[in-house]
Amino acid sequence: MNPHAECLDVSIAPNFQIIKDKLSNFSIYDFSNTEKINEYCELFSIKEICKSVESDDYGTSSDDVIFSSDPENTGPYLIQYDEICRLHYLCLTRKVLNTLEFGSGYSTAVMADAKRILSQHFEPWAKDNLRVSRPFHVYAVEEEQRYLEITNQRVQGELSSFVTVSRSSVELGTYDNHYATYFSKIPNISPDLILLDGPGQFSTTKEIQGFNLNDISRMPMAADILKFEFFLEPGTLIVVDGRTANARFLKSYLRMNWVHHHDVDGDIHLFELQELPLGKFNAKKLNFCLNNDWLLN
């Protein structure tokens, strides 16, 4: 890809240069730095976006190993500003059109805010020039009704028009004879960013030949992405939040030209689909979204 290509986004919406100037002070690797996180929060009012709702009173740290593996947990985790600032940054810098989020939470709200910003600058152009029916939207799928309701409380008002949260049961099955989980129904979209942060470890009690996930020693192992991998377009980015075993499983089976990076400090895995454009529409999308330059080298 040509790193010297014309900046199509600024030619479409000159005022977007203000946003780009703010983003230029950061890189994907800055969000393990407390000072940079605070700076980003201030620039984009992230803490205001993540205003608490009543259900948040039950939260605790995601570093609490008992809490994170307790099937009786009834509340969300405390806000992880490194994670949500990174997602906000990725959505803006990549001008993400459609996000598919497995799970939901504060991340849904901050990505919706990024989509709000992008929509203000680019929605008419995107509808006229790219193959996307509903640009700048977050589609989240949740395993439990209570988490769906909490997320919907977070994205009330202006942000609600940029988010659709649906509920689906989770099934234990196999992929290439290996145990894995699947959501029964996922949004029928073509995402250019996928956030894998669900389902949870205790999402299903189904058992196959004595094996089940309903034990503290198990870990999440979702295989949904593998089933629709070949429908994803070049430029797609997968973000795996923690879940290193699941990320290694995906890496073992993804067949296309994915470049993988494990950010150990940030506890995330990134997979970027770096292939030649499928045709003129995909090429135009890559120019617009990525300025013809990859995130990962």
pLDDT band at 194 (very low <50, low <70, confident <90, very high): very high
User: What mean pLDDT comes out for the span 72-89?
Assistant: 80
pLDDT for res 75 = 55
Q: What's the fold here for domain 8-290? A: Rossmann fold (3.40.50)
Terminal Cα distance for the chain, rounded: 12
SS3 content of the chain, % helix, strand, coil (to 5): 40, 20, 40
pLDDT band at 156 (very low <50, low <70, confident <90, very high): confident
Task: Name the residue ranges covered by the structural domains of the chain.
Answer: 8-290
pLDDT for res 55 = 62
How buried is residue 15: exposed, middle or buried, by Cβ count under 10 Å (0-12/13-18/19+)?
A: exposed
pLDDT for res 215 = 87
- The neighbouring-strand residues paired with 102 are 141, 196
CB 8 within 8 A of CB 290: no
Q: Is the peptide bond before 71 cis (omega within 30 degrees of 0)?
A: no
- Of 193, 147, 178, 158, nearest to 250 by C-alpha is 178
Interacting residues of 6 by C-beta distance below 8 A, sequence separation 6+ = 287
The dihedral through the CA atoms of 19, 20, 23, 29 has a sign that is: positive
pLDDT of 264 > 60? The answer is yes
- Phi/psi of residue 97, each to 5°? -85, -55
User: What mean pLDDT comes out for the span 244-268?
Assistant: 96
User: What mean pLDDT comes out for the span 129-141?
Assistant: 96
CA atoms within a 13 Å half-sphere pointing along the CA-CB vector of 166 = 15
Residue 161, SS3 per DSSP: helix
CB 217 within 8 A of CB 188: no
User: What mean pLDDT comes out for the span 8-19?
Assistant: 92
pLDDT band at 286 (very low <50, low <70, confident <90, very high): very high
Q: What tens digit of pLDDT does each residue of 109-124 get?
A: 999 999 999 999 999 9
Q: What is the mean pLDDT of the chain?
A: 90
pLDDT of 152 > 90? The answer is yes
Spatial distance between the Cα atoms of 222 and 199, rounded to a whole number of angstroms: 7
How buried is residue 177: exposed, middle or buried, by Cβ count under 10 Å (0-12/13-18/19+)?
A: exposed
pLDDT band at 58 (very low <50, low <70, confident <90, very high): very low
User: What mean pLDDT comes out for the span 39-47?
Assistant: 96
Q: CA-CA-CA-CA torsion for 97, 3, 85, 68, nearest 10 degrees?
A: 80
Out of 56-65, 116-125, 164-173, which region has the weakest mean confidence (pLDDT)? 56-65
